[in-house]
Amino acid sequence: MRKGLLTVLAGIIIFSSFNSLQATIVVPVTTNSEKPDRALVKGAMEAFRSLPKAERREKIKDAKKALKAYNEAKKAGKEPSTNTILLVILALLLPPLAVYLHEGVINKRFWISLLLTILFFVPGVIYALIVILGDH
């Protein structure tokens, strides 16, 4: 049993270290949750098409540079996936500690996790997993 658990944990850690195999998905970010106005988008496209060819190429290059900078900033600020995996493993062993490390402070989520773990271990584990994986 113990050897099997260690094998599974080692496999998870090894497979999580292959970040280069994951596909990158670019999602457009809007400042509000509403869709952009169709008339505004149509007007912007017409203005773009009316530009001279050289200026259109420059705008496309600028957009590509901005997208590249955005992706690099997103990657730099992104929490490593190994951190999440380690928190999940810790949540299976000590749920309140995993919630505390995820939250960074002792708050009501920590106390709920502690109470559920003391009363019934399995609901404490489930709650800790919800807290850790629910914020992503």
The answer to the question of residue 95 being in a domain is: yes
The answer to the question of residue 13 being in a domain is: no
Residues of the domain holding 47 = 38-77
CB contact burial 74-94 (16+ within 10 A = b; e otherwise): eeeeeeeeeebbbbbebbeeb
Instruction: Examine the domain organization and report whether 89 and 122 are in the same domain.
Output: yes
Instruction: Examine the domain organization and report whether 45 and 64 are in the same domain.
Output: yes
Instruction: Examine the domain organization and report whether 42 and 60 are in the same domain.
Output: yes
* pLDDT in 10s for each residue of the chain, 136 residues: 666 666 766 666 665 555 444 444 445 555 555 677 788 888 888 888 888 888 888 888 888 888 788 777 767 765 556 788 899 999 999 999 999 998 888 999 999 999 999 998 999 999 999 999 886 5
The answer to the question of residue 49 being in a domain is: yes
Question: Does the reported pTM lie above 0.85?
Answer: no
The answer to the question of residue 15 being in a domain is: no
The answer to the question of residue 126 being in a domain is: yes
